Structure 1
């Protein structure tokens, strides 16, 4: 009976990870146009194209690698590969988050200071959650490492959530980009991270 429940739980979480992976891939296909380095595709981002590429490349790598890191069967069977993917994941976030901070105070600030602050906060949360996951594993605190990795991927997925939320019809009706983007930027990671924290702490003694 316990084995059956364990198998069902494994299948459920595998399904969740697969869904996240597919959603990430859908997001990634929309961003690949920038890697053609066509000025018309970059539009207003042309002046910060290399920073945008760094941000996108790091974010895409983190989105793709994340589900593999949480897949227990993969992790247990290919531990060395899991560790390699983990290092790449952390480096990718370092590059992507620092690129986003640069763009926040060079490009986004020209749009509006609230948009720059929202991006800065997201970049800071992204960098900090990844760093805490790294610090935990360096101290051999496996459970803490797992929890911080979950938080990190929730923040990583905020970019996908933002793209989906900001263009919803009822959100568009709330105002122009400057009026809605900063709020949507905060909502994309603060609320999911809050819900994640409740789930992580729910059964702890």
Structure 2
């Protein structure tokens, strides 16, 4: 069990600072994108699919907030008794958020002329498929994290849930980039969506696996010979 001092200092560690940055940027994205939906101020912008967008905004809020809190509880071990129920809430809300994101990404909500919302994956563009694949990747990482927890493989569980939250933040990054009018589109625009989640996930994977590929200490090397 970590000491009280180490618990207090966790937020000032590299992992804690990264989580703080994720929470700050997630809050900005929530204010710009989710708040107008939750306050019904942009219903006309999503007239054919507002129920789906509203459900996604609510569940996305759960992913951002509960996910960040639970990563902190898991790493610092403070108030750890809340870790499991909050984790289940994150998985439930996140599953709804990811599935609704897939439906919206592969739907015709913004097609012209508007003919009513329908799920049409064969007509989705590159951007839609990039966001749908992001939702599928979140479901896969979260399912692996849940499986590891059920089997009491807690180091594996922690790693998979870190990947899961990195993907939540990747969606935030994609939406924030979309708010910058002068940002280069790189082709049709789908490349930005792909890069906004594949690069953070790659960096996360390197960070998680870095120690396992580091130079072995002399005693460990001798034990293998």
Normalising by the smaller structure, the TM-score range is: 0.7 to 0.9
| Larger of the two Rg values belongs to structure | 2
- 1:103 paired with 2:137, answer no
Structure 2 runs not aligned, ≥5 long: 113-123, 214-225
- Structure 1 residue 188 corresponds to structure 2 residue 211: no
Match of 2:163 among 151, 170, 178: 151
Query: Alpha carbons of 1:9 and 1:195: their partners in 2 closer, same or farther (altered >3 Å)?
Result: farther
- Measured on the aligned residues, the alpha-carbon RMSD in Å equals 2.7
SS in 2 for 1:157: helix
Describe the shift of the 1:109–1:125 C-alpha distance in structure 2 as closer, same or farther (beyond 3 A).
farther
For 1:79, the equivalent position in structure 2 comes to: 80
The 1-side partners of 2:180 and 2:208 are apart by 30
Aligned in 2, Cα 1:131/1:173: closer, same or farther, shift over 3 Å? closer
Question: Which residue in 2 is equivalent to 1:201?
Answer: 209
Write the deviation string for residues 94-142 of structure 1: whole angstroms up to 9, x where unpaired. Answer: 1011111211222268485222211221111111111111111011110
Q: Distance in 2 between matches of 1:7 and 1:98?
A: 35
Higher helix share goes to which structure? 1
TM-score of the superposed pair, with normalisation by structure 2 = 0.76
Q: Which runs of 5+ in 1 are unaligned?
A: none
Give the paired residue count: 196
